[in-house]
Chains A and B, each alone.
Chain A
């Protein structure tokens, strides 16, 4: 029986997955407090009320279904097809949370059976997944993997019975209206068009040659920091655009250019405007940004 007074019943089900989101979720500092607000029916790595075998009979009901991994209808869990698992538990759930880019859009594991695999609601950016008839229930948390606090946010909002505003790809706007670029510690280098000369350096922008997708990627990675302290771009790895529906791309460590001109420019900026600004910014040589920051002497 479900009522507002009872704890929502939570089920974590896996499709084709590397367990990345499962492991990421285990890093949540407030995991215990969060889970105390829910009745955990099943989770692949946490103590729960039922085993997978118990649930495969499809006699139980859940309020929140968390689905991790690419949806392949032919894949079986405990002898039951994912199609049947998803059909049964999504029909009784109030919310279906697709965690990770595989569950949201197909992601990396779509390659295992591309003709039949997808996310639960989207196949890349096309709304043609198995839950299309109950799309209003679906919340996509894309990312490879997701940040555990993103899932915490969604679960707390559900627990508090607050409305979660979604974007056109069913991602919570609160988390995905930012770009990964926002809050990047290299932004001054981006403004003045100063490249990172070598991989892993603290100085320089990763957008021009190293393939950074942060100016085109909806994610709050530089706002809600990873392990509370860092992000890919902060440590010198380009953003791979893993929260977007076209992930994964090829050549993640190199920027695609046409005659030295970036093919993709920052989101919402026309290429003509970008090239005008970039050309002018490159004209100026900012001494402080050209060498190692630690070597720069303020008083000369």
Chain B
């Protein structure tokens, strides 16, 4: 049987911690809870992450990198900005359904426990891969005259706030339809709000 590498162990901790933090909350979840879920001793856990706060920051970087890589893949495709919007919405909603713990972590841990991230994750430090790709998306959209020129954060908030809100409603089981059902209309709404005038 192949030996589990240190990297695989680390990813196992990340996956378990994401689930526990998003289900139970950041403060209630303890390091022994996480160690138990991945089947390792608490002492060994500290070989990977020296504190719960450091783990929390690593998780944010992990999610941001995951989102950034997926958006970069879309950005580099030879498709229109309108199609890119649909692809980003689709990717985000698929992620919310298939890996709900990642979006949950972002919405329920990162945005709700800012004190945990006040040192070492200020500003763009831990979310840079994701925000940078959204900048690339908007820059390309304006350069190709498909989107109208405006302040970056006005456009970013409209796009990502909308998606975050829908995923929140989905997580609360308020949406009458599955997320898949909303992809087309939401993409169209975002495009209509951002397109050139």
Contacts and interface: CB of A to CB of B under 8 A. Distances in A.
Interface residues of B, number: 24
Interface in A269-290: 271-272, 275-276, 279-280, 282-284
A260 interface: yes
B68 to A, nearest CB: 10
A251 B141 CA distance: 22
A263 interface: yes
A277 to B, nearest CB: 9
A271 B143 CA distance: 13
Contacts of A258: 138-139, 141-143, 149
Contacts of B141: 258-259
B48 interface: no
Given A259-B138, A261-B135, 14 more contacts: A258-B138, A258-B141, A258-B142, A259-B139, A259-B150, A261-B139, A263-B143, A272-B72, A272-B133, A276-B128, A280-B123, A280-B125, A282-B123, A284-B123
Contacts of B132: 272, 275-276, 279
Could you tell me the dominant secondary structure of chain B's interface residues?
helix
B139 A271 contact: yes
Given A276-B128, A279-B124, A279-B128, A259 B147 contact: yes
B151 A260 contact: yes
B20 to A, nearest CB: 29
Which of A257, A260, A263, A275 gathers the greatest number of chain B CB atoms within 10 Å?
A260
Contact of B149 (A259, A272, A283): A259
Contacts of A283: 122-125
A258 to B, nearest CB: 3
Given A271-B136, A275-B135, A276-B132, A259 B142 contact: yes
Given A276-B132, A279-B131, A259 B122 contact: no
13 contacts: A258-B138, A258-B142, A258-B143, A259-B139, A259-B141, A260-B151, A272-B132, A276-B128, A276-B129, A279-B123, A279-B131, A280-B124, A280-B128
B152 interface: yes
Interface in B115-172: 122-125, 128-129, 131-133, 135-136, 138-139, 141-143, 147, 149-153, 155
Top-6 shortest CB links A-B: A283-B123, A258-B142, A279-B124, A260-B152, A259-B138, A259-B152
Contacts of A272: 72, 132-133, 136
A260 B142 CA distance: 11
A121 to B, nearest CB: 31
Interface of A: 257-261, 263, 271-272, 275-276, 279-280, 282-284
A272 B149 CA distance: 19
A282 B132 CA distance: 13
A261 B138 CA distance: 9
Interface in B75-113: none
Contacts of B153: 260
Nearest to A257: B149
A93 B43 CA distance: 82
Nearest to B194: A259
Contacts of A271: 136, 139
A271 B147 CA distance: 19
Contacts of B123: 279-280, 282-284
B162 to A, nearest CB: 17
Contacts of A279: 123-124, 128, 131-132, 135
A116 B152 CA distance: 43
Contacts of B149: 257-259
Nearest to B140: A258
Nearest to B124: A279
Contacts of B131: 279
Which of A258, A275, A279 gathers the greatest number of chain B CB atoms within 10 Å?
A258
A279 B134 CA distance: 12
A260 B135 CA distance: 9
B44 to A, nearest CB: 33
A249 B171 CA distance: 52
